Amino acid sequence: MEYQYHTASEMLALTRRHNLSVSELILAGEAELGNGDREALLTRMLDYYRRMKASVAAGLEITERSRSGLSGGDSRRLHAHSSGNRVSALGQAFERSISYGLAVLETNAAFGQIVATPTAGSAGIAPACLLTWQEARNASDETASRSLFAAAGIGKVIGYGACFSGAQGGCQAEVGSACAMAAAALCELDGGTPEEVVQAAAIALQNTLGLICDPIGGYVEAPCMMRNGLYTLHAFGAAAMALSGICSIVPFDEVVGALREIGEKMPRIYKETAEGGLAATPTGLRFRPRPRMVPPSP
Amino acid sequence: MSLSTFEIIGPPMVGPSSSHTAGACRIAWAARQLLGGTPEMARIGLHGSFYATGQGHGTDPAIIAGLLGFHPDDIRIKDSFAHAAREGLHFEIGEIDLGPHAHPNSVELDLRRKDVALTLRAASVGGGSIQIQQIGLFPVDIRGALETLIFWHLDASGFLARITAVLACVEINVASIRTSRFERGEHALTVMEVDGTCPADLLSVLGRMRSLERMVRLPRLPGF
């Protein structure tokens, strides 16, 4: 096996040895594992990217609140605001990026179709970042979707070294991973070297460490939706910092180690159980689901 | 363990939860394959968080959808109870305690179709990934990232050698094999993961092997 790795430092060594971008290394690695040839892999990722864009579009159409009453209609609100005369000083793309992240989670809460990236609760960040990038750069779906292989390359390192599950590692494992993956994709799209791609991921991930998973009522809606919106901005910021030559003090592999350690030591009440944090506030408690009704057999 | 790109980006699914919705659907989809079709009767025991928070995450309709053969990205998942009524799938969903060591998102399925009965235990381990842990009384570890062949057979010498010889003839690579039995010469279960896809004529040859009671091909799970 020529293209397999478990850590970012191994991954970087392989990109240097084979003179490949992170995306191209991942593509070669998948083909080596027998998961399909290059064309089939690119086509499948293009399909996934178009599904991601569809999940953004579907969310922007939602006007009703979800069954729990915790979300719905907010992405549309912000998207409309981004075209108005009170748009943020940071511009339209700033607001749209957030609205796209919100939109995917609204689609998700409405039992709509999304692509888990890496999980459903963090599925908005990568699509929002890539769609915003694509609109700003006037690029093709093919170009944008290819960067998802770089995102997956960073995701693998986190999967090997830590985990993606809120129940095991808190929100840092879900939103943090998604943010690092999106930052890596953005960095590569804007011409970053493999070293800069890994720096972008390191900067993004360390800025999410400690984030707890405290879903109100146990639903994948609040604060998940807000985080999917706002962490798109972290991903853009981290990619820009890496491209400017800023380096994380702690290398990516060690940041992943910190993610794991924090996840392991994080109290259970902050790991998707809805027993702590925002879920346990007086307002949060009002959204607790009623005791379960067993559905009758038809 | 080797993670593939599409375990990280994906699966495509309907919301809201990769473990409680997509993983639940995949477990049931795999169970339907092992049974050989849509069950006529399904008893579903939900353990831990699957029972406690499953309702808000659509775990129940996702499991029924999987038993009907729907993929995790099928928009019919939310209406699966109505589809079950039309397809003649009767079901009961309740709580089960699988003990303190069970994964919080675990399920036990007790399925019946014509003269086949199947009980299995599985867990949804995060991000839509699953692990089938027990088939009948036999412990197994099936993840569904590779095509998997499952053989119910009598424990007889040469059984595995015959299978691997047939696979070798058509250059199908075996990734893992696990056989479990309780008594020598009694019933046994063999689970074999292979690279690629077994052609139908190969399965027909394997299906005629001596000592074989039943064989099922579990394709890669949807989204892998």
Domain range annotation of chain B: 5-136, 147-218
Partner-chain residue, chosen from B13, B75, B92, that has the shortest CB–CB distance to A120: B13
Could you tell me if A10 and A161 are in contact, meaning their C-beta atoms sit under 8 angstroms apart?
Answer: no
Superfamily of domain B147-218: ACT domain (3.30.70.260)
How much is the pLDDT for A1?
87
Q: Which two tokens stand for residue A42?
A: 């690119």
Dump pLDDT digits (tens) for B64-84.
999 999 999 999 999 999 999
**Number of Cβ within a 10 Å radius of residue B5:** 25
Q: Average of pLDDT values for B126-153? A: 94
Could you tell me if A244 and A191 are in contact, meaning their C-beta atoms sit under 8 angstroms apart?
Answer: no
Subunit contact A120:B8, Cβ cutoff 8 A: no
Partner-chain residue, chosen from B5, B90, B92, that has the shortest CB–CB distance to A30: B5
Residues 134-173 of B with CB under 8 A from A: none
Task: For residues A69 and A83, give the distance between their C-alpha atoms in angstroms, rounded to a whole number.
Answer: 27
How many C-alpha atoms does B8 have within 13 Å on its Cβ side?
A: 27
Of A269, A244, A25, which is closest to residue A154 (Cα–Cα)?
A: A25
Could you tell me if A127 and A55 are in contact, meaning their C-beta atoms sit under 8 angstroms apart?
Answer: yes
Residues 91-110 of A with CB under 8 A from B: 107-110
Could you tell me if A204 and A182 are in contact, meaning their C-beta atoms sit under 8 angstroms apart?
Answer: yes
How much is the pLDDT for A297?
52
Q: pLDDT category, B224, cuts 50, 70, 90?
A: confident
Per-residue pLDDT of chain A (298 residues; tens, 9 = 90+): 899 999 999 999 999 999 999 999 999 999 998 888 999 999 999 999 999 999 999 999 999 999 999 999 999 999 999 999 999 999 999 999 999 999 999 999 999 999 999 999 999 999 999 999 999 999 999 999 999 999 999 999 999 999 998 888 999 999 999 999 999 999 999 999 999 999 999 999 999 999 999 999 999 999 999 999 999 999 999 999 999 999 999 999 999 999 999 999 999 999 988 899 999 999 999 998 877 765 555 5
Subunit contact A114:B12, Cβ cutoff 8 A: yes
**Number of Cβ within a 10 Å radius of residue B162:** 16
Q: pLDDT category, B204, cuts 50, 70, 90?
A: very high
Residues 40-59 of A with CB under 8 A from B: 41, 44-45, 48, 51
Amino acid at B59: T
Q: Average of pLDDT values for B190-207? A: 92
Kindly list the residues from chain B whose CB atom is less than 8 angstroms away from the CB atom of residue A168. Answer: 126
Q: Above pLDDT 90, what percent of chain B?
A: 83
Amino acid at A163: C
How much is the pLDDT for A185?
98
Superfamily of domain B5-136: D-3-phosphoglycerate dehydrogenase; domain 3 (3.30.1330.90)
What is the pTM assigned to this prediction?
Answer: 0.92
Partner-chain residue, chosen from A167, A289, A294, that has the shortest CB–CB distance to B94: A294
Task: For residues A137 and B49, give the distance between their C-alpha atoms in angstroms, rounded to a whole number.
Answer: 44
In sequence order, what are the residues at sequence separation of 6 or more whose Cβ sits closer than 8 angstroms to the Cβ of residue B118? B31, B34, B35, B109, B110, B111, B112, B135, B136
The phi, psi pair for B187, rounded to 5°, reads: -65, 145
Partner-chain residue, chosen from A34, A163, A218, that has the shortest CB–CB distance to B56: A218
Subunit contact A292:B52, Cβ cutoff 8 A: yes
Q: Average of pLDDT values for B166-175? A: 92
Which of B18, B47, B73 has the highest number of chain A CBs within 10 A, making it the mutation to test binding with A?
B18
Kindly list the residues from chain B whose CB atom is less than 8 angstroms away from the CB atom of residue A115. Answer: 9-13
Search chain A and give the residue with CA nearest B45. A294
End-to-end CA distance of chain A, in Å?
53
Task: For residues B18 and B57, give the distance between their C-alpha atoms in angstroms, rounded to a whole number.
Answer: 9
Task: For residues A149 and A146, give the distance between their C-alpha atoms in angstroms, rounded to a whole number.
Answer: 6
Could you tell me if A157 and B54 are in contact, meaning their C-beta atoms sit under 8 angstroms apart?
Answer: no
Task: For residues A128 and A182, give the distance between their C-alpha atoms in angstroms, rounded to a whole number.
Answer: 9
**Considering all CA atoms of chain B, what is the largest pairwise distance in Å, rounded to the nearest integer?**
50
Partner-chain residue, chosen from B5, B91, B127, that has the shortest CB–CB distance to A152: B5
Q: pLDDT category, B48, cuts 50, 70, 90?
A: confident
Subunit contact A116:B11, Cβ cutoff 8 A: yes
Domain range annotation of chain A: 8-285
Q: Of A298 and B149, which is predicted with more confidence?
A: B149
Subunit contact B126:A119, Cβ cutoff 8 A: yes
Q: pLDDT category, B223, cuts 50, 70, 90?
A: confident
- What integer best gives the mean pLDDT of chain B? 94
Partner-chain residue, chosen from A41, A168, A220, that has the shortest CB–CB distance to B17: A220
**B51 close contact with A: CB closer than 8 A:** yes
Tell me the nearest-neighbour CA distance from B90 into chain A, angstroms: 6
How much is the pLDDT for B182?
85
Q: Which two tokens stand for residue A148?
A: 């998802």
Which of B4, B5, B63, B193 has the highest number of chain A CBs within 10 A, making it the mutation to test binding with A?
B5
Q: Is the pLDDT of residue B1 over 70?
A: no
The phi, psi pair for B11, rounded to 5°, reads: -80, 155
DSSP secondary structure code for residue B194 in this structure:
E
